[in-house]
Amino acid sequence: MEHRFEQLTPHILLMHAEHDTDRPVLAAIGGRQRTLLMDGGNSPSHARLFQKELAGRGLRQPDLMALTHWHWDHSFGIAAWNVPVLAHREAADTLAGLAGLDWSDECLQRLVEAQTISEASAEHIRLEYGDKRDIRILPPDIVFTGRLTVQLGGVTCELVHVDSDHSPDSCILYVREDRTLFLGDALGPAVYGGPRRYNGARFLRLLETVYGYDADWFVESHGVPMSRSEFMADLAPWAQLARLAGSCGSDRQAIIAGMKTYLDVEELPADLLAGVEEFIAGAGD
């Protein structure tokens, strides 16, 4: 597998997402005094690839880590870094509840049945770790609620908790000097605790918050970096879908008809058709 890295801005090196085992974007944000890592990766193997790239470029290894949310693909690599971890209170609580599990097939099945993780996540864990799963869950070292600002030396990072469907502990990370906003998975649907779902009003409030940042780059954890214009164009159909879901309720055909008119198409793309179901499922959240 080819691993892709990108110097996105003068202070930010990215490791791009890899979808075979659901590896999200990792980012090293370097200031004069310290380097902050965004998310820990989905495994020590994932983490070591980024460590090797940093070393090969002669860049400072991270001094601390900011966690966008607790989900396994963002946090199960924490143990490989040996740095203090900053995370929201709810992320810390959830990870504490997962510590000490044996991660056997039986364990994964129990977690799926309890809706703690999804079947898709369980399958990705099997693919990433194989049959022998030595998974160490470490608790965050610095726990916050609301907002946390970290100074790296000429580079300011703002970690902000947001109201997101994807996970209650979702945080976004803004690198002020580089005008870059890391979104984690905050704009994604809820994937645990029931069917995939969005709440239209919540999604639109979050989108308003995101657009309020003076950012040139927007980075979602399982996507590619986008300029402001690219990002707004990409999200425009989803904003319209959220508005229609709010006005049409569970009237599936009315939502679909409204989206066809908005896009001037005869058939909706598959992702937006799935989105219709997700917004209907989340209408009461």
DSSP state of 165: S
Residue 206 CA from chain centroid, whole number: 14
Please list the alpha-helical segments (H only) found in the chain: 44-56, 72-75, 89-98, 105-113, 119-129, 200-211, 228-248, 252-263, 270-281
CA–CA separation, 70 and 38 (whole Å): 12
Mean pLDDT in the chain?
97
Q: Which fold has domain 5-206+214-225?
A: Metallo-beta-lactamase; Chain A (3.60.15)
| Residue 1 pLDDT | 67
Closest of 275, 206, 280, 270 to residue 245, by C-alpha? 280
* Per-domain residue ranges of the chain: 5-206+214-225
Q: Which residues, in sequence order, are CB contacts of 69 under 8 Å at separation 6+?
A: 88, 91, 166, 167, 169, 170, 171, 184, 185, 186
Model confidence pLDDT, tens digit, residues 120-148: 999 999 999 999 899 999 999 999 999 99
Rounded-to-integer distance, Cα 137 and Cα 78, Å: 8
pTM beyond 0.95: the answer is yes
Model confidence pLDDT, tens digit, residues 21-35: 999 999 999 999 999
